[in-house]
Amino acid sequence: MRVFFLFKSILFISALSFNATLVPAQDNRPAIATLLQIEGGVEVVTEKSPKGRRGRDGMLLFSGNKIRTSVKSKATVVYRDGSHIRLFQNSEFLLDLSEEQNTSRRTFKYQLTLNNGSLRGRFKKGLQRTIIITPTALIRVKGTSVRIAENNNKVTVSLTEGQVEVSNLSSSTIMNAGQWMPQFGRTDDLSKIVVPIPNLLNLKSDEYKFDFRNGESKQFEFSVQLQNSVSSKIVKRKGLVIFESDYNRIRLPKRFMLDANGFARGLVGIDPPRIDDKKFRGLITIRAFMDNDGFDDVAEGNLVIKIRNSGKKRTLILDPDKGLTETEG
């Protein structure tokens, strides 16, 4: 066992030192991601701009690029498979590696480094294998929504969805949805640190089912409340919330601020599903997360909407035995 951890420690330290400084040439390789939703001062370090150049919306990113956010600054890195990472203020983030895998489905392998600062990542389940390295820990991502903060050789990992494996120099553990590990170091026993996330965003609506047989769009109101995950008591805390959904025919508020009571209301518009959308299964999920650093103790919120008779073509069939019946195609 001592030999195993010695080997693991050497490998871990080598990975940290290698990735912290690596900014390889871009050659003629394709872009692996795009920089979007920039707020404040964001710099991108490349081989041609080793001192950094100002980031801009739509900027293409390549393996080896380093992104730096300054005070009160944010940016989003969107990968080709739809996975994305939201970088918060005072962060330094390195895109080490992106490789497309030779599989039946188009899948990717990512290796990323968070030298300092914080991020929220949402990685597509089944479409990627991701390793995130910090000076303190190594996180293996398995299709998930995760927050990571690294400062002064202390790291916090917070998991809302999916599963991650977290390792440091002395131990390794599996985290499941709804758990977090606050402020641990390189040699802490990780199995003793995993606890439930103390707070969450609770999304509610008076309506959860909609019928689109008339082909008209729908609009409904929903609320967001920051509350304790065990007692459900209100947590009075301001903060900016961002919303997202995998359903592309939805109109969400881009974001809004929770008031002093940790509460806010918003409107959602939904257009009928396309008749030719064979992947749609009648459920729409709306996710909400805190768009700032310092909220790793808050689990993301989910609101699931069920669509009945989702605009599919109806066919009337006259059967001699059963009479008039109706099917959906």
Q: What is the pLDDT of residues 273-299, one digit of tens each?
A: 887 777 788 889 999 999 999 999 999
Helix (H) or strand (E) holding 21: helix 2-21
Between 89 and 127, the more confident residue is: 89
pLDDT higher than threshold 80 for residue 249: yes
pLDDT of amino acid 5: 46
pLDDT range class, residue 4, cuts 50, 70, 90: very low
- In degrees and rounded to multiples of 5, residue 18 shows phi and psi of -70, -45
Predicted pLDDT at 61: 95
* Of residues 142 and 41, more confidently modeled: 41
| Average pLDDT of the segment spanning 99-106 | 58
31 secondary structure, DSSP code: P
When pLDDT is cut at 50, 70 and 90, the band that residue 102 belongs to is low
The sign one gets for the Cα dihedral 228, 141, 241, 224 is negative
Q: What is the pLDDT of residue 55?
A: 95
* Mean pLDDT along residues 193-208: 95
Confidence of residue 101 (pLDDT cuts 50, 70, 90): low
Q: For the residues 306-324, what does the mean pLDDT come to?
A: 53
pLDDT of residue 213: 82
- CA nearest to 298, candidates 159, 165, 137: 159
Of the candidates 142, 195, 138, the residue with the CA atom closest to the CA atom of residue 167? 138
**CB neighbour burial string for 47-62, b if at least 16 within 10 angstroms, e if fewer:** eeeeeeeebeeebebb
201 pairs with which residues across the strands?
Answer: 226
pLDDT value at residue 104: 53
**The Cα angle at residue 77 between residues 39 and 85, in degrees rounded to 5:** 95
* pLDDT, position 106: 58
The torsion angles phi and psi of 21, rounded to 5 degrees, stand at -120, -10
Residue 325 has what pLDDT?
46
Residue 196 three-state SS: strand
Q: Centre a 10 Å sphere on the Cβ of residue 37 and count the other Cβ atoms it contains.
A: 17
| Average pLDDT for 106-124 | 88
DSSP one-letter code for 14: H
Domains along the chain with CATH numbers: 2-196 (2.60.120.1440), 199-308 (2.60.40.10)
pLDDT of the residue at 110: 83
pLDDT at 81: 82
SS3 197: coil
Residue 238 has pLDDT above 60, yes or no: yes
Is pLDDT above 80 for 29?
A: no
Mean pLDDT lowest for which of 23-32, 49-58, 295-304?
23-32
- Determine contact, residues 165/172, Cβ cutoff 8 Å: yes
pLDDT tens-digit series, residues 148-157: 999 999 999 9
Looking at residue 317, its pLDDT comes to: 44
Strands 195-196 and 209-211: unpaired
State how far the Cα of 223 lies from the Cα of 225, in Å rounded to an integer. 7
Radius of gyration of the chain (CA): 22
What is the Cα–Cα distance from 229 to 22, expressed in whole angstroms? 41
> Which pLDDT band holds residue 2 (cuts at 50, 70, 90)?
very low
One-letter amino acid identity for 42? V
Is the pLDDT reported for residue 14 higher than 60? no
Nearest to 300 by CA among 121, 139, 175: 121
User: In this predicted structure, what is the pLDDT of residue 129?
Assistant: 81
Taking only the tens place, the pLDDT of each residue in 262-276 is 999 999 999 988 877
Per-residue CA distances from 122 to 8, 76, 156, 262, 290 (Å): 27, 11, 16, 24, 13
pTM, entire model = 0.83
